[in-house]
Structure 1
Amino acid sequence: MAGRWIQQWDPEDETFWREKGERIARRNLIFSVVSEHIGFCVWSLWSVMVLFMGPEYGIDPAGKFFLIAVGTFVGAVIRVPYAFAVARFGGRNWTVFSALMLLAPTLAAFAVMEPGTSYSTFMAVAVLTGVGGGNFASSMTNINSFFPLRKKGWALGVNAGGGNIGVAVVQLIGLLVIGTAGAANPRIVLGIYIPLVILSAVCAALFMDNLAPVKNDTGAAKEAARDAHTWIMSFLYIGTFGSFIGYSFAFGLVLTTQFGRTPLQAASLTFIGPLLGSLIRPVGGLLADRLGGARVTLWNFIAMAAATAVVVTASVSESLPGFLAGFIALFVLTGIGNGSTYKMIPGIFQTKALAKGLTGEAAAAHGRRLSGASMGLIGAAGALGGLGINLAFRQSFLTGGTGTAAFAAFLAFYAVCSVVTWAVYLRRPAAAPASAGTGSEAPSEAEPQLSYARV
């Protein structure tokens, strides 16, 4: 299997894509989704484990939020090296390795998940679950290389959505275990995932490919890190994916802490939001393919602010139905926004390539080069947004006993994201030269003269 390397790959060539490329790309997409899905399940373990941790564990709500936050943080940080590992070792090879790495947190949690275990031990195991978060970055970087620009919104949406749904699935499994075996049996959840981790690694080894043309480009990494759009998109992705993962990890704990739900009652609700947010992510990608990612992202942030206002109102009035309605709407919107923001990334860098005078495959290659390099950074920043959300909840509950203050801060953040999206990617350029749209001369590289409305 070490020979599974594809030496030539040109998805922008329609003949190549039709005769050979699409079949190979879709096969790799399927098994990339499988591996990333299990990775998200493992990354999300502590959002479920805390529901099993009753008074006998001696850990207060703030401590539980911090356990969740630790895994979120590690998963965010390791996304950067994971993204670059694909080009260094090959997409198939790294998928196999990263899948097997998931055995460390699952086996460790299986060993320690019982009353009497020290908080520091739980913290150490929570750190290990962060490896599941890294799988997203390597998977997205890998799949980005397989598909042509016109298909990236759909492909990246399916890949990410299939992974994201792991959050809902592990929470649903937690619900089934609590409902059938009781809250004293968390090891059943872990026992389910150990063989699934092994199966995902075997499938990757048997059915995925490495792309030889995909090479690490330190120049591209440095160029992407210097490009303002990498950090602007990181900021926006904090608003979409950071919200999704932060809310997914915290939802059950908010229900048990603020609304007094039992672990079974909380578990029966927590999976709904992540499930809907994951399923709709490809729709966000498709809408972005058709309408432009920037337009979809702008309206999505406006809607997220409105949904958060509903959540704040319900939190203040202690209305559980209103809270659930607003929170689930937020999950759906984060899914749409995840798809639209990730579609924007390759489009932005290809637009800049065209502005430099590049055309055809040269422009596409330049766009792939920088978008691939930027995705690890953007994905890491987005996951750090999840850390911020969990820390905000922790502080809000410590000081006020509810999550209201945290939600008010999130509302303000979404308003800022809306303004940034409009100002950078949709506002009509104030001083675009008359010849910029005629092709008679290459547009200036000055950012205000570029049009990103269709990215």
Structure 2
Amino acid sequence: MSGRWIKHWEPENPEFWERTGKRVARRNLWFSILAEHLGFSLWTVWSVIVVSLPQAGFPFTVDQRFWLVAVPSLLGAALRLPYTFAVPRFGGRNWTAVSAALLLVPCGLMIWCVSTPGTPFEVFLLAAALAGIGGGNFASSMANISYFYPESRKGLALGLNAAGGNLGVALAQLLVPVIISLGTGVHLVYAGLFYLPLIVLSAVCALLFMDNLEGAKADFRSQARAATRPQTWVVSFLYIGTFGSFIGFSGALPLLIQTQFPEIEGAHYAWLGAAVGSLSRPFGGWLADRLGGARVTQWTFLAMGASTLLVVAGLRSGDFALFLAAFLLLFVTSGIGNGSTYRMIPAIFAAQAGAEARARARREAAAAIGIAGAVGAFGGFFVSQGFRVSIAATGGITGALYGFLVFYLICVGVTWWCYLRSRVLVTRVPSLAYARV
């Protein structure tokens, strides 16, 4: 090891893995989780801030506040591709430290906005958009960790890494309402001040305890090859349904509760959705390792469709308990789908490549993970916008939910058509017939 660069890395070698690889991989995984966790927290902190803006003296409309919830997903999605390519270019350790430090920008601007009376909506919109910097961390983190683990352990490792990041949403929605209410009145500035030292700590820990893998330094051509693979875009489409739902519902739920059930204190319950969705993600990866990612993903979309109908039933009956329980089920199933869909990517590339091209397949799979993460994150924007348009047009969110239901059913069909039809698997991609995709 020289300058935190590891030159020799053979995770598929059992002897190397037990002697050295497991310990190093785990250390990098834990500090990756810390950085990604804070990235998600800053990415979605506006979902909590918007609920208290009128009380803090910023009387924005519901439509404007839904925009503040939605725009972080746009920048977060756009940054995920360059963030993925940054890992082989700069090294996983180096880029984790830099990307963590960049979170100081949206955090600082948020502090300025909420502490300056009369700040115009356009400046708030910019501050919320820049929170998307935190969304980019996910792609580089997942791509980096995928290099450290052997094929048989990627599902659980990627699931834990993603879940640790996703929990940043739940903890932000749980802690920030408490933090900003300390003392008398509402102090939104406390949210930013709380995260500032944690961001610095994360960047320092990445520098001190993480590693760069020299074998992960692929040239851009080999990574860009992943963008030409049809399977990359099929899985990216499916990831819109799973991760797009998770991040979109996470951002919108506090405001949904406030607008649809105004008598309920949404801050007491909204964090539960992101929490159960995050915790179920590793289970999705684990199930995919054993049952096959495509099979788990297909059943997940069916369950998400059923959960959506239950949410509609809760709205129509005015039963908040049913509404919340159905939404929690929707979060659980989307979390499982996140894990299983991501697990499909390395399995697909490994099966298509064959033994002689496994190293290239790993590099392409890492790039495909970044592409899928980027495309899926755009789904969060469309979910929030779907709710905004539905409320503006009808005063409720039932129309948006029916639209999501149709999309989930389309995803069921796409999963079956592309990965579960035996004849297609055998005739078009023979090796996939024996892979746990």
What TM-score, normalized to structure 2? Answer: 0.96
Aligned with 2:234 (options 232, 235, 252): 232
Equivalent residue, structure 2, for 1:323: 323
> Is the 1:246–1:386 Cα contact (8 Å) retained in structure 2?
yes
Equivalent residue, structure 1, for 2:398: 404
| Structural mapping, 1:190-209, within 5 Å | 190-209=192-211
Residues 430, 29 of structure 1: CA spacing in aligned structure 2 closer, same or farther, 3 A cutoff?
closer
Equivalent residue, structure 1, for 2:374: 380
| Structure 1 residue 318 displacement after superposition | 2.3
Equivalent residue, structure 2, for 1:105: 106
> Is the 2:180–2:190 Cα contact (8 Å) retained in structure 1?
no
Partner Cα separation in structure 1 for residue 353 and residue 386 of structure 2: 39
| Structural mapping, 1:324-343, within 5 Å | 324-343=324-343
Partner Cα separation in structure 1 for residue 165 and residue 173 of structure 2: 14
What amino acid is aligned across from residue 380 of structure 1 in structure 2? A
> Is the 2:425–2:432 Cα contact (8 Å) retained in structure 1?
no
What amino acid is aligned across from residue 67 of structure 1 in structure 2? L
> Is the 1:174–1:267 Cα contact (8 Å) retained in structure 2?
no
Equivalent residue, structure 1, for 2:311: 311
Aligned with 2:421 (options 420, 427, 430): 427
Partner Cα separation in structure 1 for residue 341 and residue 81 of structure 2: 18
Equivalent residue, structure 1, for 2:159: 157
Greater shift in the superposed pair: 29-38 or 214-223: 214-223
Equivalent residue, structure 1, for 2:139: 137
What amino acid is aligned across from residue 241 of structure 1 in structure 2? F
| Structural mapping, 1:36-435, within 5 Å | 36-54=36-54, 56-114=57-115, 115-177=117-179, 180-181=182-183, 184-261=186-263, 265-354=265-354, 359=355, 362-429=356-423, 432=426
1:451 alignment partner, SS class: helix
Partner Cα separation in structure 2 for residue 452 and residue 415 of structure 1: 26
> Is the 2:281–2:335 Cα contact (8 Å) retained in structure 1?
yes
Equivalent residue, structure 1, for 2:436: 454
2:216 alignment partner, SS class: coil
Residues 384, 448 of structure 1: CA spacing in aligned structure 2 closer, same or farther, 3 A cutoff?
farther
Unaligned runs of 5+ in 2: none
> Is the 1:348–1:452 Cα contact (8 Å) retained in structure 2?
no
| Structure 1 residue 430 displacement after superposition | 5.5
Partner Cα separation in structure 2 for residue 296 and residue 432 of structure 1: 20
Equivalent residue, structure 2, for 1:34: 34
> Is the 1:295–1:453 Cα contact (8 Å) retained in structure 2?
no
Percentage of matched positions with identical amino acids: 49
> Is the 2:418–2:424 Cα contact (8 Å) retained in structure 1?
no
Residues 161-191 of structure 1 deviation map (CA, whole Å, 9 limit, x = unaligned): 0000000001111232355446621111111
Residues 325, 182 of structure 1: CA spacing in aligned structure 2 closer, same or farther, 3 A cutoff?
farther
What amino acid is aligned across from residue 113 of structure 2 in structure 1? V
Partner Cα separation in structure 2 for residue 2 and residue 430 of structure 1: 47
Query: What number of residue pairs does the alignment pair up?
Result: 435
| Structure 1 residue 374 displacement after superposition | 1.1
Residues 238, 182 of structure 1: CA spacing in aligned structure 2 closer, same or farther, 3 A cutoff?
farther
Residues 181, 419 of structure 1: CA spacing in aligned structure 2 closer, same or farther, 3 A cutoff?
farther
What amino acid is aligned across from residue 454 of structure 1 in structure 2? R
Partner Cα separation in structure 2 for residue 90 and residue 104 of structure 1: 22
Residues 66-116 of structure 1 deviation map (CA, whole Å, 9 limit, x = unaligned): 111111100000000000001100000000000000001111111110442
What amino acid is aligned across from residue 57 of structure 1 in structure 2? F
| Structure 1 residue 222 displacement after superposition | 3.0
Residues 175, 58 of structure 1: CA spacing in aligned structure 2 closer, same or farther, 3 A cutoff?
closer
What amino acid is aligned across from residue 212 of structure 2 in structure 1? N
> Is the 2:308–2:330 Cα contact (8 Å) retained in structure 1?
yes
Partner Cα separation in structure 1 for residue 159 and residue 400 of structure 2: 29
Equivalent residue, structure 2, for 1:11: 11
Residues 242-272 of structure 1 deviation map (CA, whole Å, 9 limit, x = unaligned): 000000000000010111146xx11111100
2:157 alignment partner, SS class: helix
Partner Cα separation in structure 2 for residue 221 and residue 181 of structure 1: 52
> Is the 1:293–1:340 Cα contact (8 Å) retained in structure 2?
yes
| Structure 1 residue 451 displacement after superposition | 2.2
Residues 259-297 of structure 1 deviation map (CA, whole Å, 9 limit, x = unaligned): 1146xx111111001011111111111111111111111
> Is the 1:223–1:370 Cα contact (8 Å) retained in structure 2?
yes
2:423 alignment partner, SS class: coil
1:185 alignment partner, SS class: coil
What amino acid is aligned across from residue 451 of structure 1 in structure 2? A
What amino acid is aligned across from residue 186 of structure 2 in structure 1? A
Greater shift in the superposed pair: 214-223 or 141-150: 214-223
> Is the 1:294–1:452 Cα contact (8 Å) retained in structure 2?
no
> Is the 1:220–1:373 Cα contact (8 Å) retained in structure 2?
no
Residues 7, 315 of structure 1: CA spacing in aligned structure 2 closer, same or farther, 3 A cutoff?
same
| Structure 1 residue 217 displacement after superposition | 2.8
| Structure 1 residue 376 displacement after superposition | 1.4
